[in-house]
Chains A and B, each alone.
Chain A
Amino acid sequence: MALLEINDLHVNYGMITALKGISFEVNEGEVIALIGANGAGKTTTLHALTGLIPAKSGSIKLNGTELTKVPAHKIVEMGMAHVPEGRRIFQHLSVLDNLKLGAYTRKDKANIEKDMQMVYERFPRLAERKSQIAGTLSGGEQQMLAMGRALMSNPKIIVMDEPSMGLSPILVSEIFDIITSIRKDGTTVLLVEQNAKKALAIADRAYVLETGNIVLSGNASDLINDESIKKAYLGE
């Protein structure tokens, strides 16, 4: 059984159909990339997974448990963390408070401090800025904070929405290195990206989303050499 199983998922925004029945799965320990053009439905997929928008039909199973009727705040408790698109951090709170909020749903209070240290080790820039107001962090630091906050819930799987958006090439590489290390430490990753080249380089498998349908899927190493992918997403 896969860790995350999506079956024939439909999502509507009023009259607009954003997802037209997509199916995919994420196995434990994998990094899966979900790539696609603007408006393909990538963010919509992640929002449906984490309960931020309701699914019209279809099923989402985490460890065999159906999620489509579970409210968003319970899904985090069940082990799925979300790094939302566009660095949605708490602008007016400190870095420390942002991280604490990431652990809000946890029952094992004793381990929170330990995980906080782990996040600081992974993101030394955050450790230096514990009491800084999050809104004053640089773009890259805010992205790290959003990732650190998601890790504070000690998730089994972390879903990330375009973590490299708007970052300089050096920071993009740094973010992708961090994703690789998160995976190495045992957390499964579902990664939504515009930067298909980088995403395919670190992913095990990938799915290509086009106007609400999955049109292609396979091993990342194969897709990176696929002619249609090269044309559409790698700009070659």
Chain B
Amino acid sequence: MKTKSKLIKPYTKKSFITYALLIAVFTIVQLILNFGKMSFMMQSLLVPLCVYSILAVSLNLTVGILGELSLGQAGFMCIGAYSGALFSSLMKEAIPEAMVRFPIAILLGGLCAALFGVLIGIPVLRLRGDYLAIVTLAFGEIIKNICASLYLGKDAEGFHLSIKSAADMNMAPDGKMIINGALGLNGTPKDSNFTVAFIILLITVIIAYNFVYSRTGRAVMSIRDNRIAAESVGLNITKYKLITFGLTAFLAGVAGVIYSHNFSTLQASKFDYNMSILILVFVVLGGIGSIRGSVIAAVVLTLIPELLRETIGNYRMLFYAVILIAMMLVTSNSKLKGRITAYTNKLKGLIKKEKKGEIK
């Protein structure tokens, strides 16, 4: 009890360093912007960088803290993007004030994604094994395809919906197309900007740190550490898995809303499994369980191919691969190594037990 007042808790220190870093980078970028020294290409990357960082931090909660593999990040992002954009384009006239409309859209997109996260999680998270990876991968693709064949229009009679074709909607010819299949959703107000995206990123990071170091976070990590022990002390495993996975889905949905309000056209084809894998690469290379690492990896690994495009053109993917491998070697630090040895030890233990003649 004596030490409590004397020491800053390690996590507060860790998180404050991250907040300070983020704010410093934001300030520098703002200064460069004010002096008009930033290329157009760089400017167009600012919001996506925040979006990818949010996605990586959110995925890290499930992959790093809970220890479950999810490959559906793009699917949750897609749900958030569509529901948020739909809300904003319908409410453009009713709520002209972006300062009011956008926060509602963000919350709504996050909640819709979280709802799907929980619906998937309830049957899948009960199972032991890597079922979540398989199911979320399929989920992402299904959502993408449904959104790509979604038609929604409005005429004097009201709304018309179809998942077949525009003609199938039976809309009057003077009606207004809102979602036009693979062509996507047009006329989303451009409510996103760097400042808003940055604030949401900062909030995401604050939520993530507070989650990890809360009572709930400790319970979640103990499940990852040792499932049987966690059950034996009376933790409701499914509940904590659902909370974590739901939070991941919520934040991915929020990222989707910001993403969709950065462009006037939204197409579902963007949210394919390549995007999910890319986010997973950020999490793994940034360090599993490291929130700061997720942000750094998302930023660095998004910037590098763009910068290389300007300098060495067609060879850029070659260099990108080399950089990925180099980063992998650098970040294969004690944390990652510890996990690998833990797995090999488990394997060794299993083999030993089998020799002893037990099936466990």
Residues of A near any B CB (own CB < 8 A):
13, 16, 38-39, 50-52, 71-77, 81-84, 88-93, 97, 100-102, 104-105, 146, 149-150, 153
Given A91-B226, A101-B219, the answer on whether A39 and B358 have CB atoms closer than 8 Å is yes
19 contacts between A and B (CB under 8 A): A38-B358, A52-B231, A72-B232, A73-B237, A76-B234, A83-B232, A88-B232, A89-B226, A89-B229, A90-B222, A90-B226, A92-B221, A92-B225, A93-B218, A93-B221, A101-B219, A105-B233, A105-B234, A150-B233
Closest chain A residue, CB of each to CB of B232: A82
Q: Are A88 and B234 neighbours in the complex by a CB distance under 8 Å? A: no
Judged by DSSP, the binding face of B is helix
State which residues 44-67 of B face A: CB under 8 Å.
none
Chain B contacts for A51, CB-based, 8 A: 231
- Other-chain residue from B228, B233, B357 in contact with A104 (beta carbon distance below 8 A): B233
Report the minimal beta-carbon distance from B237 to chain A, rounded to whole angstroms.
8
B236 sits at the interface (CB 8 A): yes
Chain B contacts for A101, CB-based, 8 A: 218-219, 222, 230, 233, 235
B355 sits at the interface (CB 8 A): no
B356 sits at the interface (CB 8 A): yes
- Other-chain residue from B218, B226, B228, B236 in contact with A73 (beta carbon distance below 8 A): B236
- Separation of A101 and B225 alpha carbons in the complex (Å): 12
In order of increasing CB-CB distance, the 3 nearest A-B pairs are A76-B234, A88-B229, A105-B234
State which residues 14-55 of B face A: CB under 8 Å.
none
Q: Are A93 and B234 neighbours in the complex by a CB distance under 8 Å? A: no
Given A72-B234, A105-B234, the answer on whether A52 and B228 have CB atoms closer than 8 Å is yes
- Other-chain residue from A13, A16, A39, A153 in contact with B233 (beta carbon distance below 8 A): A153
Closest chain A residue, CB of each to CB of B360: A43
Chain B contacts for A93, CB-based, 8 A: 218, 221-222, 225
Chain B contacts for A13, CB-based, 8 A: 359
Chain B contacts for A153, CB-based, 8 A: 233-234
Q: A39-B358, A74-B234, A150-B232 are in contact. List 14 more A-B contacts (CB 8 A).
A: A50-B231, A50-B232, A73-B234, A73-B237, A81-B233, A84-B228, A88-B232, A89-B226, A90-B222, A90-B226, A101-B222, A104-B233, A146-B229, A153-B234
- Other-chain residue from B218, B225, B356 in contact with A100 (beta carbon distance below 8 A): B218
Given A75-B234, A82-B232, A93-B225, the answer on whether A38 and B218 have CB atoms closer than 8 Å is no
- Separation of A82 and B342 alpha carbons in the complex (Å): 24
Closest chain A residue, CB of each to CB of B236: A73
State which residues 317-360 of B face A: CB under 8 Å.
342, 356-359
Report the minimal beta-carbon distance from B145 to chain A, rounded to whole angstroms.
37
- Separation of A195 and B236 alpha carbons in the complex (Å): 33
- Separation of A52 and B226 alpha carbons in the complex (Å): 13
Chain A contacts for B229, CB-based, 8 A: 84, 88-90, 146
Report the minimal beta-carbon distance from B239 to chain A, rounded to whole angstroms.
8
- Separation of A39 and B360 alpha carbons in the complex (Å): 10
